[in-house]
Chains A and B, each alone.
Chain A
């Protein structure tokens, strides 16, 4: 159970929770039809949106969840291993944790991406990633940057081995909704 790496903001995942929604889904289904990531996000936005007043919460909730769901699917190791998604509501915030397996060779890459979110200026990092994309038209990697700099989403990344020695990452995020 070694090699645990935790990066990011401190987020209370359990205190004063008013309601919870849990689900699991197969990455395979998203790869089969990418629009399903959006369908899941729209569902979560529909489910929780009515708790919040004003400011078009549906569009914001769906946009944020879509980015984190797409990210989890892209970084997953086994397309047949379920991704777990938990959403909790506390006052004017939604807190979510998405847990997926992670291939060993991509852990280093993902850890670096996460560290950059906290060590770099996000505006400069965004511009750099886009300029780099001129050379490498396949890579993007701006989703998490946009979540932090445009949506002020708090994030926490917990890389750990489970009891079956599989690499996992639990991404917890918190968004404030007026």
Chain B
């Protein structure tokens, strides 16, 4: 499944348990992130035993509404007691500065940078 615009692409690979996020995500508010939230929720429901992987290595920008929406998804994972692994890029400053916030919301969030 895929959500694709001229600014960003969200691609869910069920077999690999990966949601890949690329481009620039600067939507107006949390309401506008609803489709992405629903895709993530579907991926979470599909995934049991092994962690769901959020690959953000190609996500150049994410605004605070996006961080807020992803945070709500992390809280949902916490409620479901599911594992989640976030892959970031050490060459994208916002990721180095702000991805750690997801770990503070849920101790089972694993973050790795490459």
Contact = CB atoms under 8 A, between A and B. Distances in A.
Given A35-B26, A127-B104, A133 B97 contact: no
The A contact surface, by secondary structure, is helix
B93 A140 contact: no
Given A56-B92, A59-B93, A59-B94, A137 B30 contact: yes
Interface stretch (B14-22, B40-48, B62-70): B62-70
B3 interface: no
Given A34-B26, A55-B93, A70-B63, 17 more contacts: A34-B27, A37-B26, A56-B92, A59-B60, A59-B61, A66-B26, A66-B61, A70-B64, A130-B75, A133-B30, A134-B72, A137-B30, A137-B72, A139-B30, A140-B30, A146-B64, A151-B97
11 contacts: A59-B94, A70-B64, A126-B101, A130-B105, A133-B68, A133-B72, A137-B30, A137-B72, A138-B31, A142-B68, A142-B71
B65 A140 contact: yes
Contact of A134 (B28, B75, B97, B104): B75
B98 interface: yes
Contact of A38 (B24, B98, B101, B105): B24
Interface in A110-139: 123, 126-127, 129-131, 133-134, 137-139
A134 B92 CA distance: 28
Interface of B: 7, 24, 26-32, 60-61, 63-65, 67-68, 71-72, 75, 91-94, 97-98, 101, 104-105
A140 B94 contact: no
Contacts of B101: 126, 146, 150
B93 A67 contact: no
B61 A131 contact: no
A66 B65 CA distance: 11
A142 to B, nearest CB: 5
Contact of B72 (A62, A130, A146): A130
A79 interface: no
B98 A146 contact: yes
B85 to A, nearest CB: 20
A143 interface: yes
Ordered nearest first, which 8 A-B pairs have the shortest CB separation?
A143-B64, A140-B68, A150-B97, A34-B28, A130-B71, A59-B93, A38-B26, A60-B93
Contacts of B67: 142, 146
Interface string A59-97: 110110011001000000000000000000000000000
Nearest to B64: A143
Nearest to B99: A150
Nearest to A64: B94
Interface string A149-177: 01100000000000000000000000000
